[in-house]
Amino acid sequence: MKFFVDTADVDAIRELHALGMVDGVTTNPSLILKSGRDILEVTREICSFVEGPVSAEVVALTADEMIAEGRKLAEIAPNIAVKVPLTWDGLKTCKVLSDEGKMVNVTLCFSANQALIAAKAGATFISPFIGRLDDINLDGLELISDIRQVYDNYGFDTQILAASIRTANHVTQCALIGADVMTAPPAVIKGLANHVLTDKGLEQFMKDWAKTGQKII
């Protein structure tokens, strides 16, 4: 499973990139707001060192305007994936831009039917939001599983980009289901290294080592 980082915080992306943990990046208007930076400028900086797909989201609501914004975003770098919402106009935009050879990430997906029509419109990535479904007491992981089955039934090559990931368990379950990609905030990715027994075991090893009186260097 590929790891995308869900942030526009360049320092956080650089830290994970140095460890080989960044197969791509996703941003959205809320993350751009959080970064406090200009969308074109920050996206350009991210693309200067991230080799994989970098999603940048359009903000218009009509297809003509989304297409224009998408083309402008795609000029930033060849690895831009234009992110469009899963609306009828977003699907029109997806078809036009994917026919032009651009990567398109269709976002705000909350049903298997939405994922099905995004694949038909030529989406490179479909972004089902797990956490936001869990927030309203639905099962976000079940959606990932349903989309996996639908895409496999018919051989769609649209990649499932599991989004709105909040927990380490979301990551594990996405990997078991067979999501192609997951995107998570830096803190969730760093948290994957944590285990209470690792901390406990290390603490004991340090105590015992101190008692040996030895040094390695």
Residues at the site binding ligand E4P, with contacts judged by CB under 6 A? 6, 26, 28, 107, 127, 129, 131-132, 163-164, 183
Distances (CA, A) of 130 to 54, 80, 110, 122: 20, 23, 8, 22
The answer to whether 83 is a known catalytic residue is yes
Instruction: For 25, list phi and psi in degrees, rounded to 5.
Output: -135, 145
Q: How far apart are CA 96 and CA 88, in angstroms?
A: 13
Q: Which is nearer to ligand E4P, 164 or 173 (CB)?
A: 164
Q: Is 136 helix (H, G, I), strand (E, B) or coil?
A: coil
Helices (H), the chain: 10-18, 29-35, 39-47, 63-74, 88-99, 112-120, 130-135, 140-154, 168-177, 186-191, 196-212
Considering the complex, state which of residue 43 and residue 183 has its C-beta at the smaller distance from ligand E4P.
183
Tokens found for residue 146: 């349903």
Q: How many residues does the chain have?
A: 217
Q: Between 64 and 111, whose beta carbon lies closer to ligand E4P?
A: 111
- Least distance between ligand E4P and beta carbon 205 (Å): 36
Residue (26 or 173) nearer to ligand E4P, CB: 26
Residue among 2, 34, 72, 83 flagged as catalytic: 83
Report the alpha-carbon distance of residue 100 to residue 34 in Å, rounded: 31
Catalytically active residues are: 83
